[in-house]
Structures are given as structure tokens and as C-alpha cells.
Amino acid sequence: MTNLSLDQAASLTAGAAMWASVAIPEATIPAFTMSDGPMGIASGKVDERDIARLSPCATALGASWDVELARRIGTLVGQEAVGRGIDMVLAPNINLARSPLAGRAFEYFSEDPLLAGVLGAAWITGLQATGTGSCAKHLVCNDSETARDSVNVQVDERTLREVYLLPFEFAAAAGCAGMLAAYNRVNDSYCAEQHHVLTEVVKGEWGYTGTIMSDWFGTHSTVPTLAAGLDLEMPGPARFLGAKAADAVATGALEAVRVQDAAARVAATARCVTGPKSQPLAPGDISALLVEAAAAGFVLLKNEGAMLPLDPASLGTLAVIGPNDAAPCFQGGTFAKISERPDLPSHI
């Protein structure tokens, strides 16, 4: 990496805009663009001005138990990113569906950490095969949307490692370009300030060399955040990092080597995810894959061997109760919402 001044290195620790990192042209460090994407490329506008293919949610992929299928769906989303000029996708979401009321459970593969880890790693491998970077999220214990900015998860070390961190260990082994630190606290520290998780476990024990960034507006401090191991504050412009990181070094509150390390990680990620891209799937292949993946999640509805008492001749009238009868809901909300292309069979 080109030697950077302290000010240059500090500038790389914060984003430039809502969905982009900082570029330093004189050091040949490009900016990279980001998008949410657990179920496809979600526009920052989250409306019909930007459209994309909607892939089956992670819960459906989890129900398929099909590792190769998860990889192929990752490739599809990566290809969509390439077509829209997106360098890094904030996905997969490998938190655990501990409750059906979790708010974002539709983005999660499973309540089982092994299944979530294996399928998440396959999805990452497929996406990154297109040259697009994957940013696995949300590190860690972010399994509920309720009070996510303030909840303080108390968890013992064995449970933390064997249950909550396990999917991220699979993601790290798959070489994900980034990891997204969650909003919540874990054992009294905000995830963006969780030194034990970010530095001791992820970067130290696992040897992870990618970028750890904050969830959007998920930082609360300068020195505790950088000292804990966070590399990139999002979104930009900077709130707590950026120029304030250089100020912290100047006052002796933070070691310059930590800022240079964060900058090196961000720069390496930028160069990697802005490199050559590929789109391996033809349009016809994509449509067939979406149909296949949607069907694969309906494991019980196959009724193989007549296991279920579903005799079409004796069903008679079937009542559909509730608002989804008139307005079907094919996906969840937040930035995982996809504005769908009406000409494609994206919701089977």
C-alpha cells in the first residue's frame, strides 16, 4: 500500500456519502459504492425509481437446505450489483431467527447457527465470484429490531462463540470483503466499540483481514470505536471518525498505527471490490433460477409420499383470511425492500 499521511489515512476511516467510501486518487485508492441486498440490490431510494430482481428471502433458502442453491442465488445478486454499478452488497444477514417477531427474520437463514453459517458462506462465495464484495451483517447478537439501538445483550463466552459468532466465523473463512458491526450493545459495549469481538476474536483469532464497518449511524465515539477495531464509519460524511481520528492521534489519545491499519484495510477492500466484474448468468437462466429457488423453500408443500392429508378432490372451498388476501406481501421492509421489475417472474 502507498504510504499515506495521517490526514489521508484518517479520511479513509469514514464514508464520503450515504453509500460511498472516500477516494484518494493520488494514492490510487478508489471509492467503492454500496447497497443493501439480502434479497437483491436495494436502491437507496427504496422506491420504483430503481428496480431489481427480488430473490427468495434467506428464510426460504434456509428451508431448502441447499448449499449449492444458496451459492447460485448469491451469484445472481452479485450479477445484479454489477449491472447497477454496485461494488459491495451489505449482505448476507447471518443473524439468527430466534423469534418470528424479530422484525427482520425474513432476512435470516435460520435459527440454527450452523445452517446459517454454511448457507451464508455459500451465498458469499457466489456473490464474490462476480467481483462484487460481500459485507456480512450484523456483528453480533442483533437478532431483534426492538430497541436495537439501546438493547444490551448479556451473553456468556461459550454461547457467544458457539451460537452467535459461528455464522460470522464461516463468513470470515469464505473471505467476505467486509463485516457490518451491529447497533446493539454486547456485554455493555456498543458493537462498534466491542474490542473483544472485533479485535481479539475476529481480527486476532480468526485472522480476518477485511474491513469492519459500522452499521449506518451506528457509531457513538472516536477513540473507543477505533481502538476497538472498527475500520470504517458509515455513512459519510464523518461524524466521529475521519478528521477526528487524526485529531485523536495528535493529542496522544490514539495510536497512529491503528488509524493506518484501518486505512490499509479500507484501501485493500476498495481496490478489491472495484476490480474486474463478471455476469455469468443469462436472462433466461435467471428466471429459471428464481422459480427453482422459490419452489425449493416449500419443502413441506411437496407432500412427497402423500405424507400430508391434502387430497385436491376433497379440499372443497379454501378460505384465505387476512389483509394479504387483497395485498400479498412478498418481502419485508427497511432497506431490504426491493422495487421489483414487473416484466420478470421475481415473486413466484
Told to judge if 215 belongs to the known catalytic residues of this protein, a careful annotator would answer yes
Taking the mean position of all CA atoms in its chain, how far away is CA 132? Answer: 13
Nearest 5°: phi and psi at 338? -110, 130
Per-residue DSSP letters for 110-125? -SSHHHHHHHHHHHHH
Residues 16/31, Cβ–Cβ less than 8 Å? yes
CA–CA dist 297, 292 (Å, integer): 9
List beta partners, residue 186.
153, 189
CA–CA dist 35, 52 (Å, integer): 12
- The active-site residue, picked from 36, 66, 87, 215, is 215
CA–CA dist 195, 218 (Å, integer): 15
On the CB side of 48, CA atoms within 13 Å amount to: 2
CA-derived radius of gyration, the chain: 21
Q: Which three cell numbers stand for residue 104?
A: 427482520
Catalytic residues: 215
